[in-house]
Amino acid sequence: GDSVTQTEGLVTVTEGLPVKLNCTYQTTYLTIAFFWYVQYLNEAPQVLLKSSTDNKRTEHQGFHATLHKSSSSFHLQKSSAQLSDSALYYCALSSSGSWQLIFGSGTQLTVMP
């Protein structure tokens, strides 16, 4: 079946430095969409980014991600982390044959002053 892997459970970065959260996937379907969800403390997860186009950069709120089907990856990056970026981030996959998103296990990002 489909799977999403987020290798880091916890990432700590200093404010102003770049940050990268890794996401790789496995799927047997051709038509797929990818999402990054962000969950702030005591809040619901919400969509941060969405992409279904190979090799196209998608940006929102200073974050960007590019779907690379050749390497089965959809890493999330930001050039300058802010304290307000501290949150739990989930990578998720939606395939054409499924009614549900497949979530990774999540990465807790902590931005230190």
| Contacts to other proteins by CB under 8 A | 9, 31-33, 35, 43-47, 50, 52, 90, 94, 96-101, 103-106
* 41 vs 113, beta carbon nearer other proteins: 41
* 25 vs 90, beta carbon nearer other proteins: 90
DSSP string, 42-90: TS--EEEEEE-SBT-EEEETTEEEEBBTTTTB--EEESS--GGG-EEEE
* 5 vs 15, beta carbon nearer other proteins: 5
